[in-house]
Chain A
Amino acid sequence: MDGEEKTYAGCEGPDDMYVKLISSGGHEFIVKREYALTSGTIKATLSGPSQFAENKTNEVNFISKVCMCFTCKVRYTNSSTKIPEFPIAPKIALELLMAANFLDC
């Protein structure tokens, strides 16, 4: 079970619309700031005194699923269109639960 680290970096400025989530595997995910704020943890980190906070953790994995979750939530909250199924394979569900628990989302 490899642990991954995640760093948060604002894209070119504190008020910018996008944030970049980087996993230790080197994958960079650029998502809208508003979407990333779905996670209470990221929200607290981003609004803290230092915008370039580094946050090392061994529990954050599967960041692409997390980003998909952010998008789903923002798109379908307060919308009357049918909410589509969000499939999660049982194999990754436990680790994803730990990640979601950490990120509070």
Chain B
Amino acid sequence: MASFPPRVNEKEIVRSRTIGELLAPAAPFDKKCGRENWTVAFAPDGSYFAWSQGHRTVKLVPWSQCLKNFLLHGTKNVANSNSLRLSRQNSDGQKNNPCEHTIDCGDIVWSLAFGSSVPEKQSRCVNIEWHRFRFGQDQLLLATGLSNGRIKIWDVYTGKLLLNLVDHTEVIRDLTFAPDGSLILVSASRDKTLRVWDLKDDGNMMKILRGHQNWVYSCAFSPDSSMLCSVGASKAVFLWNMDKYTMIRKLEGHHHDVVACDFSPDGALLATASYDTRVYIWDPHSGGILMEFGHLFPPPTPIFAGGANDRWVRSVSFSHDGLHIASLADDKMVRFWRIDEDCPVQVAPLSNGLCCAFSTDGSVLAAGTHDGSVYFWATPRQVASLQHLCRMSIRRVMPTQEVQKLPIPSKVLEFLLYRI
């Protein structure tokens, strides 16, 4: 079974440049499981990188220092977890002196998310009602979702535990913060529900989103915080309205469990990855499929796609430029795609990859593996065309239905709707 379409010569595809690695330290005793790195994450302002190192620990490193280390010491950099347990090297961990933290979460960590009280650009207004966090400075939090259903919230600068959220009964498979700085956290769990927490209100649980018939694998906010996508077992892809907490629609099309989702930076596209060997790009406003990225050729029939086909896609991530996505599949490769081409532009070898994330500025892709390590590659960069930059600027504020009413020529309309 081939990994690329027949017209492509695999040897001609460019290999990505490796930037570095963070290897998990050798465990004192060899366990069959518990070592996996299920999740990697970058802070929204690019200051920190976090990954679950297996064996209940989460490692937080200041990202710019980490990059510098890679350049100075070559590509190998073994992370030493012993020397820095919850250390506060600079008085109270001020923002200007970021330091490394190793956090013992008490249980296997399945999900991570950074939350910032500073809104990312292009978001709606935020109501500022502080209760616990009245420090008057920017808050950067790390939420960790554990195997026993608890969520622990840590302060990134000091490494201290701030909140313990208890309500889910099963593994917290994914966490995501609203990008508008409101510190609203959504958790997705194997107990078939998603819960919405308000961290500014002492972690009060605001809502339970019910609708999944099976495990929920992943969730993602749209960049304007108005929509949430949740994906799960039994082919489920749901879109929720986050003003009223109602379900907008189900997206049908996958043939197997859907395990990852990500919105484009302008909110006009939604990428989902599934065990049916495919990544689909949807228009979340209309529900249609715009692109399909295959990882197995010839494409499997629905019965084969719905079972064990050895080519499960584990993760997908959108780049900051809105033009590229990265996907991880079980055929030991990371693929970088342009959203308008059905063949990858670059690939990189990776065994047992489980999760991936682009850095905040889009220049680096981090991928976590089964043994708790993280690998980094330089992403394909190119200056976007002026047309694409205009498209992103328009789509950030205009959903599909409004775009369709614009008095513009049909070719430009199709371009704006990402249908070219």
Smallest distance from the beta carbon of A1 to chain B beta carbons, Å? 11
Contact A96 B386 (CB under 8 A): yes
Chain A residues with CB under 8 Å of B415's CB are 97, 101
Contact A101 B389 (CB under 8 A): no
Chain B residues with CB under 8 Å of A96's CB are 386, 390
Q: State A96–B363 Cα separation when bound (angstroms).
A: 27
Does A30 belong to the interface (CB within 8 Å)?
no
Chain B residues with CB under 8 Å of A88's CB are 389-390, 393
Contact A82 B386 (CB under 8 A): no
Does B124 belong to the interface (CB within 8 Å)?
no
Contact A76 B386 (CB under 8 A): no
Contact B408 A69 (CB under 8 A): no
Interface positions, chain B 387-408, Cβ under 8 Å from A, are 387, 389-391, 393-394, 396-397, 406, 408
Known: A82-B361, A90-B396, A97-B394. A105 touches B389 (CB 8 A): no
Q: State A98–B411 Cα separation when bound (angstroms).
A: 10
Contact A90 B382 (CB under 8 A): no
Q: Which residue of A lies closest to B320 (CB)?
A: A85
Contact A105 B390 (CB under 8 A): no
Which single member of B361, B383, B393, B412 contacts A77 (CB below 8 Å)?
B383
Does B332 belong to the interface (CB within 8 Å)?
no
Q: Which residue of A lies closest to B412 (CB)?
A: A101
Contact A101 B387 (CB under 8 A): yes
Chain A residues with CB under 8 Å of B394's CB are 90, 93-94, 97
Does B416 belong to the interface (CB within 8 Å)?
yes
Which single member of A73, A76, A83, A97 contacts B390 (CB below 8 Å)?
A97
Does B85 belong to the interface (CB within 8 Å)?
no
Chain A residues with CB under 8 Å of B91's CB are none
Does A100 belong to the interface (CB within 8 Å)?
yes
Interface positions, chain A 39-94, Cβ under 8 Å from B, are 65-66, 69, 72-73, 76-77, 82-83, 86, 88-90, 93-94
Q: State A48–B361 Cα separation when bound (angstroms).
A: 41
Chain B residues with CB under 8 Å of A97's CB are 387, 390-391, 394, 412, 415-416
Q: State A82–B64 Cα separation when bound (angstroms).
A: 14
Which single member of A90, A98, A100 contacts B408 (CB below 8 Å)?
A98
Does B385 belong to the interface (CB within 8 Å)?
yes
Q: Which residue of B lies closest to A97 (CB)?
A: B390
Which single member of B361, B389, B390, B411 contacts A94 (CB below 8 Å)?
B390
Most buried by A among B383, B406, B411: B383
Chain A residues with CB under 8 Å of B210's CB are none
Contact A105 B387 (CB under 8 A): yes
Chain B residues with CB under 8 Å of A103's CB are 386
Which single member of A72, A76, A82, A93 contacts B393 (CB below 8 Å)?
A93
Which single member of B386, B396, B406 contacts A105 (CB below 8 Å)?
B386
Does B132 belong to the interface (CB within 8 Å)?
no
Q: State A97–B389 Cα separation when bound (angstroms).
A: 8
Chain A residues with CB under 8 Å of B207's CB are none
Chain B residues with CB under 8 Å of A86's CB are 384, 389
Known: A94-B408, A101-B415. A66 touches B383 (CB 8 A): no
22 contacts between A and B (CB under 8 A): A65-B386, A66-B386, A69-B389, A72-B383, A76-B383, A77-B383, A82-B361, A83-B383, A86-B389, A88-B390, A90-B396, A90-B397, A93-B393, A97-B412, A97-B416, A98-B408, A100-B385, A100-B386, A100-B390, A101-B387, A101-B411, A101-B412
